[in-house]
Structure 1
Amino acid sequence: MTRQRVLVVGGGMAGVSLGCELAREHDVVLIEAERSLAVHSTGRSAALFLAGYGPAVVRELTQRSEAEFVRLSMLPGVPAPLTPRGGLFTAWDESSAAALAALVAARPTMTTLSADQARVLCPMLRADGMIACAFDADARDIDVSALHSYYAGVLRQRGGQIATGARLVGADRIKSQWQARTSDGRRWVADVVVNAAGAWGDEVAELCAGAGYGLSPRRRTVVIARSPRPIPADWPVVADAAESWYFKPEGGALLLSPCDETEVPPGDVKPDPLDVASVLERVNAVTRLGLRSVRTSWAGLRTFAPDRAPVVGPHPNEPALFSFVGQGGYGIQMAPALAQVGAELFRTGSLTDAVLAAAIDPRRTQTALEH
């Protein structure tokens, strides 16, 4: 394949992982609008590796990523990106019980437990009200910072450049080349632009190709709360199977989320106090933790395509704009495999897995918008 100049827009996990893969064969420059990398979604992620989480294509990519996570953990000087945690999924009403049954049916690593067995794993769960539960020993924590740093470091080792404080403000296709301009006054020439701009993915697509993908940025709230009771570091992540809350230990306190998905414009999102109060109420209702005091809270962006699958490949209106957006709430756990898939599509224009290719094809988003 002819060596090309590639301009990657976006310095989160999507941009650095695909940029790292492309730098094997191409001259890569990554531009990030903020003064540092991984400010919005990646830097605010409380990521877990949950192989049974998300739609079918996400589960496939997550499972494919596991081997790469294992390989990275064996590299000298690279912190292990995955550490054991375990996941305890609970049901407190009929809708949660139905969601849990579907989850257990789809995940051979999940084991159905009694309420008493669940309380062995997390003794602070209330003794009454739980109608079903299951444990997934395969659930693990992801060291997001270590994974992102690894990709950014290897991107530089392979000759790639990273420029921060450089928001894309213009891009023209002139004589088979991109002439791009950034907010700091710099100009960039590239053969291909890679749109890895996360919540700003539609803005970049409209700037370069005149049409977005129908992306929807959604706010997700995370809270660190204190409890008057001890929080053992070896508790599993505990979640409502219907995804209305989850919590896990974090530095002697508790990290918890109401699993909110409030549609918001791209930007520096802040937590809504109502969401913070809501998750404390929900977790207190099913535990004896007595959460009252919030140490800190924040919010991040999870950006979904209409069908919640990633959007990977040439833009339907402009083949020299390569789409790598729509990772939603799954971008960290499927990052290794998705970057490899993206690089294969970039290199060959096709995938050997036709089902996967159709599931992530950007053309499907244009069809959805037309209807």
Structure 2
Amino acid sequence: MTFFDFALVGAGIAGASLAAELAEGGARVLLLEAEDRPGYHATGRSAAFWEECYGGPELVPLTLASGDYLRDNGFLTRRGALYIGRDEDAGELDAFMERFGKTGATIERLGREGLETRIESLREAWTGAVWEPACADIDVAGLHAHYLSRARRAGVVLECRARVSRVAKSEGVWSIGCEDERGFAAANLVNAAGAWADTVAQMAGARALGIQPLLRTVAQLRTSPAPDPDQPLVLDIGGTFYFKPEAGRLWLSPHDEQPSAPCDAAPEELTVAEAIDRLEKVVDWKVEAVERRWAGLRSFAPDRLPVYGRDPRVEGFAWFAGQGGYGIQTSPAAARLAAQLLLGLDRDDMTRGLDAALYDPARFD
């Protein structure tokens, strides 16, 4: 049996990016994926944008630290983002400016005139916004493939249809068994299992951290008129919708966060209908058809910050989980930071300004 330095559970963007970084740091790495192919769940169902303020001020450093890597490798296409509000939302828009004004994010307060130049057929009720010009679309599939390719070139062994069913540790070695009776051995077990993170932790004898999967719904609409392809991502400052153009269609979400068990998430018709109702209160467009609908699980720790690093109680067990909806946009810096922590390496230019204590699993002890 081949012995690995690190066995990672989950080959979505989290596992793929961390596997590449660990292997390039000299480790022998095994990447275990339960499904037929990597990225079937959250990674493959992303709304695909890089937005500086997404996730809160504590996440901005990770997002900004990842930006140059994503841009330099061609994974970002500039779009811009608008957080919009009505007269009664002016206080929330001002609070947003105050909350993110000193984080390094580029934001600007706009009035109705600034909105009209950026959104066609906007209804009169919407009178103010925060403009974030750096927001960009992410080539999620390309980024995920990039990390899988880097991992493969660095010697990572990827095993698909390898659903972990049991783990045990003896004399410093993890024995990992899968449902199909395959077995593996590693010195370190890394939990990159997304919605299944607490399940994997409990298998390993670690304390579940309360990482909760939340269902997020997206629908692809055909509208009349079709959305301007250069229109920004539009988000409600109150958190009840967002939408953006995509290949001549509109991607719309009601920004839902429905608690869910770990599963192959599916959208509900009522949720899609609610999203369309909210859209029609924002723009004077006719929805001609719902062409696609899907749902994914975004998994959050209780404080809604990611969990990176070694478990404080179980030696040889580490976390790379709880990344919510921002795991893709922060993946370059997050994976680099986690690999440095796990391998005991010095920080580099990408990670030097990051506060690892914010994301340490020991904060829940």
TM-score range, shorter chain: over 0.9
Question: The residue matched to 1:104 in structure 2 has which SS?
Answer: helix
* 5+ long unaligned stretches in structure 2: none
Q: What is the aligned counterpart of 2:79 among 47, 62, 85?
A: 85
Residue identity in the other structure for 1:149: A
1:121 aligns with 2:118: yes
* Superposed CA offset, 1:143-167 (max 9, x none): 1101100000010000111111001
Task: Pick closer, same or farther for the CA change 1:347–1:150 going to 2, 3 Å.
Answer: same
| Cα displacement (A) at 1:277 | 0.5
Distance 1:99 1:196 in 2: 35
Task: Pick closer, same or farther for the CA change 1:226–1:217 going to 2, 3 Å.
Answer: same
* 5+ long unaligned stretches in structure 1: 74-79
| Contact residue 61 and residue 354 of structure 2 kept, 8 A | no
Superposition pairs of residues 1-40 of structure 1, within 5 angstroms = 5-24=5-24, 25-40=26-41
Superposition pairs of residues 307-318 of structure 1, within 5 angstroms = 307-318=303-314
| Contact residue 115 and residue 128 of structure 2 kept, 8 A | no
Residue identity in the other structure for 1:37: P
Task: Pick closer, same or farther for the CA change 1:269–1:93 going to 2, 3 Å.
Answer: farther
Residue of structure 1 equivalent to 2:68: 67
Residue of structure 1 equivalent to 2:331: 335
Distance 1:353 1:229 in 2: 47
| Contact residue 192 and residue 320 of structure 1 kept, 8 A | yes
| Contact residue 100 and residue 242 of structure 1 kept, 8 A | no
| Cα displacement (A) at 1:353 | 6.8
Q: How many residues align?
A: 355
Residue identity in the other structure for 1:189: A
| Contact residue 189 and residue 318 of structure 2 kept, 8 A | yes
Q: What is the aligned counterpart of 1:199 among 185, 195, 201?
A: 195
Task: Pick closer, same or farther for the CA change 1:350–1:193 going to 2, 3 Å.
Answer: farther
| Contact residue 305 and residue 323 of structure 2 kept, 8 A | yes
Residue of structure 2 equivalent to 1:262: 258
Residue identity in the other structure for 1:8: L
Q: What is the aligned counterpart of 1:143 among 132, 139, 145?
A: 139
* Superposed CA offset, 1:45-93 (max 9, x none): 012111122233211111111122233x2xxxxxx11001011221025
| Cα displacement (A) at 1:102 | 2.5
* Superposed CA offset, 1:66-125 (max 9, x none): 122233x2xxxxxx110010112210253x433322332324522222213212211121
| Contact residue 83 and residue 236 of structure 2 kept, 8 A | yes
| Contact residue 219 and residue 251 of structure 2 kept, 8 A | yes
Question: The residue matched to 1:317 in structure 2 has which SS?
Answer: coil
Which is further off, 215-224 or 80-89? 80-89
Distance 1:227 1:186 in 2: 49
| Contact residue 310 and residue 319 of structure 2 kept, 8 A | yes
Superposition pairs of residues 284-363 of structure 1, within 5 angstroms = 284-348=280-344, 356-363=355-362
Question: The residue matched to 2:216 in structure 1 has which SS?
Answer: strand
Distance 2:298 2:53 in 1: 18
* Superposed CA offset, 1:188-244 (max 9, x none): 010111100000000000000242111010000001011121322111111111221
| Contact residue 180 and residue 188 of structure 1 kept, 8 A | yes
1:110 aligns with 2:111: no
| Contact residue 237 and residue 246 of structure 1 kept, 8 A | yes
Distance 1:349 1:214 in 2: 29
How large is the RMSD of aligned CA atoms in angstroms? 1.8
Residue identity in the other structure for 2:62: L
Question: The residue matched to 2:59 in structure 1 has which SS?
Answer: helix
1:181 aligns with 2:177: yes
Return the TM-score normalized by structure 1.
0.91
| Cα displacement (A) at 1:341 | 0.7
Distance 2:306 2:149 in 1: 25
* Superposed CA offset, 1:286-323 (max 9, x none): 11012252111000010000001111111122120111
Distance 2:87 2:271 in 1: 21
Distance 1:27 1:195 in 2: 16
Give the % identical residues.
37
Distance 2:354 2:294 in 1: 37
1:153 aligns with 2:114: no
Residue identity in the other structure for 1:121: R
Distance 2:67 2:354 in 1: 20
1:364 aligns with 2:363: yes
Residue of structure 1 equivalent to 2:94: 101
Distance 2:166 2:295 in 1: 29
Superposition pairs of residues 206-225 of structure 1, within 5 angstroms = 206-225=202-221
Residue identity in the other structure for 2:331: A
Which is further off, 329-338 or 344-353? 344-353
